[in-house]
Amino acid sequence: MIDPTALRAAVAEGFGRQTEWLAKLASFDSTRGNEAPCQDWLAGEFAARGWAVDRYTIDEVEIAGLTGYSPVVDADYSKAVQVVATHQVEAPVGRSLILMGHIDVVPVGATELWSQDPFRPEVRDGWMHGRGTGDMKAGVSAMVFALDALRRLGYVPGSRVHIETVSEEECTGNGALSTLARGYRADAAFIPESMGHQIIRAELGSVWFRLRILGRPGHVYAGVSTGSHAILAAMAYIEALKGLTAEINAEAVTHPYFGAIADPVKFNPGKIRGGDWLGSIPSWCELECRLSVLPGHSLADVRERVSEAVRRCAAALEAEMPALSWIGFQADGHVFAPGTEAEALLAGIHAELLGRELEPLSMTATSDTRFYDLYYGIPALCYGGNARGMHAPSEAVELASLQTTTEVIARFVARWCGLKAA
């Protein structure tokens, strides 16, 4: 049994180095399609720790037919590098574990809204600011430095640990799926997303879709109806989909995990482009949207409801039904059932270190957790420290809470996997 005081000191002693390491990790612009340099750096870090490194691209793995797969457009999977490092143990003394984090980050958006270079992290008032710091490169640093702290005390995990850094978490989840398709399994998974020291009990899924709306083009002098005007029609489809969202939110009030949250289901018309010429009625407009999916609602059902809302709107506009395609996330909502040994262990460690009970969180977003728990029966703990401004120019992670998370993971590894002399 490891001395908790010594472990705390070991995490604290490494924390300066961890903060620098996180700043380096967050300096990579690892937006979709650009993950390789970040992953290659990580692969080097992992190899330097003596772990066996499997660096591959999603292209190399057959995932298209698997449950949980999301269709992909506009992405080149021959560039989508994934990394799985493995600490292998001959005669295990405990249970195996997956430590998993995503390194893809969302685009920075309008750069003039940032008070800093998004990829040059800055520490101010105990928070590290920058794209990807909170979501979730801090968590990745916690996985790695928890193991480093154990090593500093002369220990390694007493059973197999996979340290996984994936991409695609922000758009499909296909990176996480690829690790499972490649055969990586364990008795539990730990995903240190910045969850404010809560554990994800339930999360929404989401669907991404695109409407390609065609108008009836002509000269602007002719005058035009909304249905003939691709951009004005897009506004009508947005209203129709807001109506569908309100309808689903009305049903959500009786949901066991989301009933207490006002309007948990979010509709985001996130991307739009269309038209070519200011003197012409726009002949086309492409509208891309995201809609949440409640646990218990089937994806097929949600897709049908989206189609039906669009169909009804098209009829009202006396327009052709737009081409509707599913272009990313087809993610189920998911409930992580209470009662696992892994959660009990985490809850105990959380209470010891934070002096309060572990609270469950119903999260109105989507994480990679579903792949492990829902599709592969691996209990998956999604738990980590405090962040703010995720997906915003104010993104930041609280360093003190990161240090605590690192200590939580180190203790979890020690007790779940057991320890051996390094």
Residue ranges in contact with Zn ion by CB under 5 A: 135-136, 193
Shortest Cβ 203–Zn ion spacing (Å): 11
Shortest Cβ 387–Zn ion spacing (Å): 9
Instruction: Report whether 318 contacts 227 (CB < 8 A).
Output: yes
How far is 60 from 78, CA to CA, in rounded Å? 8
Looking at the Cβ atoms of 54 and 135, the one nearer to Zn ion is 135
Shortest Cβ 169–Zn ion spacing (Å): 6
Local structure of residue 222 (DSSP, 8 states)? G
Shortest Cβ 105–Zn ion spacing (Å): 9
How far is 4 from 120, CA to CA, in rounded Å? 35
Shortest Cβ 42–Zn ion spacing (Å): 16
Shortest Cβ 193–Zn ion spacing (Å): 5
Looking at the Cβ atoms of 188 and 191, the one nearer to Zn ion is 191
Looking at the Cβ atoms of 200 and 252, the one nearer to Zn ion is 200
Shortest Cβ 57–Zn ion spacing (Å): 21
Whole-number Cα distances in Å, 12 to 22, 399, 406: 15, 11, 9
Cα dihedral angle (364, 366, 370, 374), rounded to 10 degrees?
A: 50
Looking at the Cβ atoms of 177 and 309, the one nearer to Zn ion is 177
Shortest Cβ 365–Zn ion spacing (Å): 8
Looking at the Cβ atoms of 63 and 100, the one nearer to Zn ion is 100
Looking at the Cβ atoms of 132 and 215, the one nearer to Zn ion is 132
Looking at the Cβ atoms of 102 and 160, the one nearer to Zn ion is 102
| CA nearest to 7, candidates 159, 152, 197, 192 | 152
- The neighbouring-strand residues paired with 17 are none
How far is 21 from 14, CA to CA, in rounded Å? 10
User: Phi and psi for 190 in degrees, rounded to 5?
Assistant: -130, 120
Full DSSP string of 228-292 = G-HHHHHHHHHHHHHHHHHHHHHHHTT-TTTTTSSS---EEEEEEEE-S-TTB---EEEEEEEEE
| CA nearest to 236, candidates 215, 265, 217, 266 | 215
Shortest Cβ 77–Zn ion spacing (Å): 20
Looking at the Cβ atoms of 135 and 203, the one nearer to Zn ion is 135
Looking at the Cβ atoms of 215 and 384, the one nearer to Zn ion is 384
Helix pair 399-417, 4-26: axis angle to 10 deg: 120
Instruction: Report whether 281 contacts 220 (CB < 8 A).
Output: yes
Shortest Cβ 266–Zn ion spacing (Å): 16
How far is 174 from 336, CA to CA, in rounded Å? 20
Q: Where are the beta strands (DSSP E) in 78-149?
A: 81-87, 97-102, 122-124, 127-129
**Helix (H) or strand (E) run with residue 410 in it:** helix 399-417
| CA nearest to 140, candidates 167, 168, 101 | 101
**Residues contacting residue 128 through CB under 8 Å, at least 6 positions apart:** 19, 22, 23, 26, 121, 122, 138, 396, 397, 399
Shortest Cβ 410–Zn ion spacing (Å): 21
Looking at the Cβ atoms of 193 and 395, the one nearer to Zn ion is 193
Structure tokens at 55: 């660096």
Looking at the Cβ atoms of 136 and 150, the one nearer to Zn ion is 136
